[in-house]
């Protein structure tokens, strides 16, 4: 089936059901290349993802986590040239650094989805240096060779998986199972029975803590 599902998923302080499309359950159901699961952070990459879905000579369901706030986020934009040039969908997006800059990177922060924009904003406002952010736009199937290449470019850098969801939800358990040799440390909301709190103040406090911890070097 070539079914495409766009599921609202993103922690915006609006309560449990608004926050979670149960990403972890889709990832638990993945195996033998039976579907594609993505959490895309740019309009151009989303465009090329849908184009790839139609151009493939086979059919697989596509599950897309779709944060509502990114529909109006001022930083979630793409130049028209990225849609026109025929660039392929990027399953992993890393920041480009020169060799000299790469040697100064002390921490690699891996994430997926809208939290990327919170991390970038905090890093810019607080002039944080030594942290590079890698976005996993496609969670399943994982493109491990590309991830291996990225990690090899930053020898000695500590590696963190950062997510908005509680530690027992979201992509963390899947990532830790699929990539145990990476030695990820995790920064997430505390393990919880509920996908999200219904209190905006507590949501904001937790979100700020996650981003601050991710951008604070030891």
pLDDT in tens, the chain (218 residues): 999 999 999 998 888 887 999 999 999 999 999 999 999 999 999 999 999 999 999 999 999 999 888 989 999 999 999 988 767 999 999 999 888 899 999 999 999 999 999 999 999 999 999 999 999 999 999 999 999 999 999 988 999 999 999 999 999 999 999 999 999 999 999 999 999 988 889 999 999 999 999 999 97
For the beta carbon of residue 103, count every other beta carbon within 10 angstroms. 13
92 phi/psi in degrees, rounded to 5: -135, 135
Both tokens assigned to 202: 């507590």
Full-model pTM:
0.95
Q: How far apart are CA 131 and CA 31, in angstroms?
A: 33
Identify which of 125, 132, 117, 111 has the alpha carbon closest to the alpha carbon of residue 188: 111
Handedness of CA 84, 88, 91, 95 (dihedral sign): negative
Q: How many CA atoms lie within 13 A of 119 on its CB side?
A: 27
d(Cα 193, Cα 210) in Å, to the nearest integer?
19
């Amino acid at each position: 089936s070539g079914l495409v599902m766009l599921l609202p998923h993103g922690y915006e302080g609006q309560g449990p059901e608004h926050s979670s499309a149960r990403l972890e359950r889709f990832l638990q159901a993945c195996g033998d290349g039976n579907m594609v699961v993505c959490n895309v952070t740019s309009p151009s990459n989303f465009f090329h993802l849908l184009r790839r879905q139609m151009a493939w000579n086979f059919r697989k369901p596509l599950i897309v986590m779709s944060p509502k706030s990114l529909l109006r986020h001022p930083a979630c934009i793409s130049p028209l040239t990225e849609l026109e040039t025929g660039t392929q969908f990027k399953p992993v997006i890393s920041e480009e650094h020169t060799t000299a800059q790469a040697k100064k990177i002390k921490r690699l922060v891996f994430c997926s989805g809208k939290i990327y924009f919170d991390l970038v904003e905090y890093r810019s406002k607080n002039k944080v240096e030594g942290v590079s952010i890698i976005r996993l736009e496609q969670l399943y199937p994982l493109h491990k060779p590309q991830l291996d290449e990225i990690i090899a470019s930053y020898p000695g850098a500590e590696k963190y998986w950062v997510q908005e969801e509680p530690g027992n939800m979201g992509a963390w358990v899947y990532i830790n199972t699929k990539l145990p040799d990476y030695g990820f440390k995790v920064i997430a909301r505390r393990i919880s029975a509920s996908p999200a709190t219904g209190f905006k103040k507590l949501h904001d406090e937790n979100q700020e803590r996650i981003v601050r911890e991710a951008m604070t070097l030891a």
